[in-house]
Amino acid sequence: MDIQTNTIDVRGQQWKEFTLINDHGMSVSILDFGGIITQILTPDRNGKLENVVIGFKNYEDYLDNPAYFGALIGRVAGRIANSQFELDGKTFNLPANEGENHLHGGEPGFHHTIWTVTPFQNTQEVGLTLSHTSPDGENGYPGNLEMTVSYTLTNDNALSITYEGLADHKTVLTATNHTYFNLSGDLKTDIRQHEVTLDSSQFVELDENLIPTGKLADVTDTTYDFRQGRLIQDGVESNDTQNVVAGNGYDHYFIFDHSQAASAIVREAESGRQLTVITDQPGVVMYTSNTLDKGLVLRERESDKYMGLCLETQASPASIHHDGFPSVWLDKGEKYFRKTTFKFA
d(Cα 218, Cα 263) in Å, to the nearest integer? Answer: 17
- Which contiguous run of DSSP H or E holds residue 234? helix 232-237
Give the domain range for residue 216: 2-344
pTM of the model: 0.97
Indicate the length of the chain as a whole number.
345
Q: pLDDT band at 264, cuts 50/70/90?
A: very high
Q: Parallel, antiparallel, or unpaired for β 273-279 and 336-344?
A: antiparallel
For residue 132, count other CB atoms closer than 10 A to its CB: 17
Give the tens place of pLDDT for each residue, 278-304: 999 999 999 999 999 999 999 999 999
Give the pLDDT confidence score for residue 168 in this predicted structure.
Answer: 98
Question: 104, 111, 112, 178: which one is catalytic?
Answer: 178
Q: Domain total for the chain?
A: 1
Q: Which amino acid is it at 275?
A: L
**CA-based nearest residue to 126, from 153, 95, 89, 166:** 153
**CA-based nearest residue to 312, from 111, 129, 117, 113:** 111
Q: Is the distance from CB of 311 to CB of 286 less than 8 angstroms?
A: yes
Task: Judge whether 322 counts as a catalytic residue.
Answer: no
Question: 17, 138, 268, 312: which one is catalytic?
Answer: 312
Give the pLDDT confidence score for residue 54 in this predicted structure.
Answer: 98
Contacts of 258 (CB under 8 A, 6+ apart): 199
Give the pLDDT confidence score for residue 65 in this predicted structure.
Answer: 97
For residue 211, count other CB atoms closer than 10 A to its CB: 21
d(Cα 48, Cα 127) in Å, to the nearest integer? Answer: 23
Cβ density class 274-309: b for 16+ within 10 Å, e for less = ebbbbbebbbbbbbbbbebeeebebeeeebebbbbb
Domain of residue 333, CATH code: 2.70.98.10
Peptide bond into 75 cis (omega under 30): yes
Mean pLDDT taken over the chain = 97
